[in-house]
Amino acid sequence: MKTAIYPGSFDPVTKGHLDILKAASEIFDRVIIAVAKNPDKHGFLPVDVRVKLIKESIKDMPNVEADSFDGLTINYARQKGASVLIRGLRAVSDFEYEMQLSQANSSLAPEIKTVFLTTKPKYNFISSSTIKEIFLNNGDISKFVPEEVYRYLTNFYKK
């Protein structure tokens, strides 16, 4: 049984994230999408809301679970019995950071491998920060986020 962790901020989860997750769910037996609690990063949505929105968006993926964690991703992965970390790549600009992160993780935990996936081209440019910016400037984000996220943001955050 191969378990993979897909760690990230997911602030909020997007259709890009879900596309990566769907691919991962077809490759691995069990996938945990896990929101990293980062004390240095002041988020847009609280962590528990991010997890709730993810849970609502993954109902059609039976082997996927949503969770959050503190501390190092590799420690969380070990605790969950996972041997794989999933990360997404959008552009060359992601590559340097993701490469460093995967090498640091691999040096700390050689038994855990990072697997990089890409999205369908139509989701490639989507990032949580772009979505926040469009939303906060009253743009339409319905094409970029799952319906649950769209509904939540529209109901609770519209000025």
Assess 50 for contact with ligand ADP (CB under 6 A): no
Assess 90 for contact with ligand ADP (CB under 6 A): yes
- Between 8 and 146, name the residue whose CB sits nearer to ligand ADP: 8
Instruction: Name which position in 33, 126, 149, 153 contacts ligand ADP (CB under 6 A).
Output: 126
Assess 124 for contact with ligand ADP (CB under 6 A): yes
Q: How far is the CB of 60 from ligand ADP (least distance, A)?
A: 19
Q: How far is the CB of 100 from ligand ADP (least distance, A)?
A: 12
Assess 10 for contact with ligand ADP (CB under 6 A): yes
Beta bridge partners of residue 33, listed in sequence order:
6, 66
Per DSSP, 38 falls in state -
Assess 12 for contact with ligand ADP (CB under 6 A): no
Instruction: Name which position in 9, 25, 73, 105 contacts ligand ADP (CB under 6 A).
Output: 9
Among candidates 1, 7, 3, 14, which has minimal Cα distance to 146? 14
**Separation of alpha carbons 3 and 21, rounded Å:** 13
Termini Cα distance of the chain: 47
Among candidates 56, 52, 53, 69, which has minimal Cα distance to 5? 69
Yes or no: say if 17 and 149 are a contact pair by the CB < 8 Å rule: no
Q: How far is the CB of 23 from ligand ADP (least distance, A)?
A: 10
Yes or no: say if 88 and 4 are a contact pair by the CB < 8 Å rule: no
Length of the chain: 159
Residues that bind ligand ADP (CB under 6 A): 8-10, 14, 16-17, 20, 87-88, 90, 94, 118-119, 123-124, 126-128
